[in-house]
C-alpha cells in the first residue's frame, strides 16, 4: 500500500504505543475459539510493524501480554506462549530484512523457558538494526515497573549512592524498564475499550490517546494512518496555552 500522502511527514509520532485488544471478541463473533483471534492478530502485528517503519516511526511498543493476563484460563495462556515462540522464530528474518530491532519490557523471566530463549536469540540477531525499535511488552505491568524502580532507588539511597535531593523525574524515568525509550507520543487502543489496563502509566503522562472500535485482528496500515492523521490534527500543549504553542510553530 502506498504511504498516505495526507500525512505530514514532519509530524510522524516518534513513539507509538499500542494496546492490541479485541482478539477474543473477533473470534467469538465468528463462533470460533478465542485462540483463533490471537492467531489472526499476528498478521496485524506484521502489518502495523511494517506500516510504522515505512512512515519513519522510531519506536513501536506493542502490549502483547499483561501481568494480569496470567489469570486467563491456562489453555489460552499456553496458546499465547506457543504463538509467541512460533511467531518470533518465523519473523526474525523479516525483522532483519526491514532493519528492525526487537526488544522487550516486562517480567520476561516469568515466561516459559523456550519463549525466553527464542526472544534472546531474536534480540541478539536484530540488535544492530537501526530503522525502528519494536518493543514487545510481555508479562508487563506499569505498576510492577514503578515498584521495581522504587526498590532500585531505595537500594541506591541505602548504600549512600544517591541523596534524597537526587530523586527526581529523570532518576525515576531512568530506573524504569523503558529507560532507553522516549515517552510515547501516541497511544492507540483497539476494540472500543477506553482504559489503560496498567500500560506505561508513568511514560504516558503526556501522550495523545486514540481509541478505535476496530478489533485488533482487523487493524491494518490504513487504520494506523487514520490514527496518525487524527494525532496530527491535535495541539500538544504540555500545560501551556494554545496561543503560546502556536507562536513557536
Catalytic machinery residues: 21, 69
**Which three cell numbers mark 111?**
515466561
Other C-beta atoms lying within 10 Å of the C-beta of residue 94: 12
Q: Which is nearer to ligand IPE, 17 or 153 (CB)?
A: 17
Are the CB atoms for 100 and 23 separated by under 8 Å? Answer: no
Considering only residues 44 to 103 of the shown chain, the ones binding Mg ion according to CB under 5 A are none
**Least distance from ligand IPE to the Cβ atom of residue 204, Å:** 14
Cβ within 8 Å of residue 158, ≥6 positions away = none
Other C-beta atoms lying within 10 Å of the C-beta of residue 187: 25
Query: In terms of Cα–Cα distance, which of 202, 221, 183 is closest to 4?
Result: 221
Cα dihedral 204, 208, 211, 215 sign:
negative
* Residue choice 89, 120, 195, 236 for contact with ligand IPE (CB under 6 A): 195
Q: Around 40, how many Cα atoms within 13 Å sit in the side-chain half-sphere?
A: 21
**Of these partners, Mg ion, ligand IPE, none, which one is at the site of residue 190 (CB under 5 to 8 Å by kind)?**
none
Q: Which is nearer to Mg ion, 53 or 215 (CB)?
A: 215
Q: Tell me which residue has its CB nearest to Mg ion.
A: 21
Task: Measure the CA–CA gap between 105 and 117, rounded to whole angstroms.
Answer: 15
**Which three cell numbers mark 158?**
541505602
Task: Measure the CA–CA gap between 60 and 118, rounded to whole angstroms.
Answer: 20
* Residue choice 25, 32, 131, 220 for contact with ligand IPE (CB under 6 A): 25
Q: Which is nearer to ligand IPE, 13 or 22 (CB)?
A: 22
**191 near ligand IPE, judged by CB under 6 A:** yes
* Residue choice 12, 13, 17, 22 for contact with ligand IPE (CB under 6 A): 22
Considering only residues 97 to 156 of the shown chain, the ones binding Mg ion according to CB under 5 A are none
Q: Tell me which residue has its CB nearest to ligand IPE.
A: 24
Considering only residues 33 to 72 of the shown chain, the ones binding ligand IPE according to CB under 6 A are 63-66, 68-69
- Candidates 18-26, 67-75, 157-165, 220-228; binding stretch for Mg ion (CB under 5 A): 18-26
- Angle at alpha carbon of residue 57, lines to 54 and 50, rounded to 5°: 40
Q: Which is nearer to ligand IPE, 23 or 104 (CB)?
A: 23
Query: DSSP 3-state assignment of 32?
Result: coil
**21 near Mg ion, judged by CB under 5 A:** yes
Question: In the complex, which residues of this chain contact ligand IPE (CB under 6 A)?
Answer: 19-25, 63-66, 68-69, 80, 191, 193, 195, 197, 216
Amino acid at each position: 500500500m502506498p504511504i498516505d500522502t495526507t500525512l505530514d511527514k514532519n509530524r510522524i509520532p516518534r513513539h507509538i504505543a499500542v494496546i492490541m485488544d479485541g482478539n477474543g471478541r473477533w473470534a467469538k463473533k465468528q463462533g470460533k475459539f478465542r485462540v483463533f483471534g490471537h492467531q489472526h492478530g499476528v498478521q496485524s502485528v506484521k502489518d502495523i510493524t511494517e506500516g510504522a517503519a515505512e512512515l519513519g516511526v522510531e519506536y513501536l511498543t506493542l502490549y502483547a501480554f499483561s501481568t494480569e493476563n496470567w489469570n486467563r484460563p491456562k489453555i489460552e495462556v499456553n496458546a499465547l506462549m506457543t504463538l509467541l515462540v512460533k511467531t518470533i522464530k518465523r519473523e526474525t528474518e523479516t525483522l532483519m530484512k526491514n532493519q528492525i530491532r526487537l526488544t522487550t519490557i516486562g517480567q520476561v523471566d516469568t515466561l516459559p523457558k523456550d519463549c525466553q530463549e527464542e526472544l534472546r536469540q531474536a534480540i541478539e540477531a536484530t540488535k544492530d538494526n537501526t530503522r525502528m525499535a519494536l518493543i514487545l511488552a510481555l508479562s508487563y505491568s506499569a505498576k510492577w515497573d514503578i515498584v521495581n524502580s522504587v526498590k532500585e532507588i531505595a537500594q541506591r539511597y541505602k548504600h549512600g549512592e544517591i541523596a534524597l535531593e537526587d530523586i527526581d523525574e529523570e532518576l525515576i524515568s531512568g530506573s524504569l524498564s523503558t529507560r532507553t525509550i522516549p515517552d510515547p507520543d501516541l497511544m492507540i487502543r483497539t476494540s472500543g475499550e477506553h482504559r489503560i489496563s496498567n500500560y506505561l502509566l508513568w511514560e504516558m503522562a503526556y501522550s495523545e490517546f486514540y481509541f478505535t472500535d476496530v478489533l485488533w485482528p482487523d487493524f491494518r496500515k490504513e487504520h494506523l494512518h487514520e490514527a496518525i492523521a487524527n494525532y496530527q490534527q491535535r495541539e500538544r500543549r504540555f500545560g501551556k496555552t494554545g496561543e503560546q504553542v502556536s507562536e513557536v510553530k
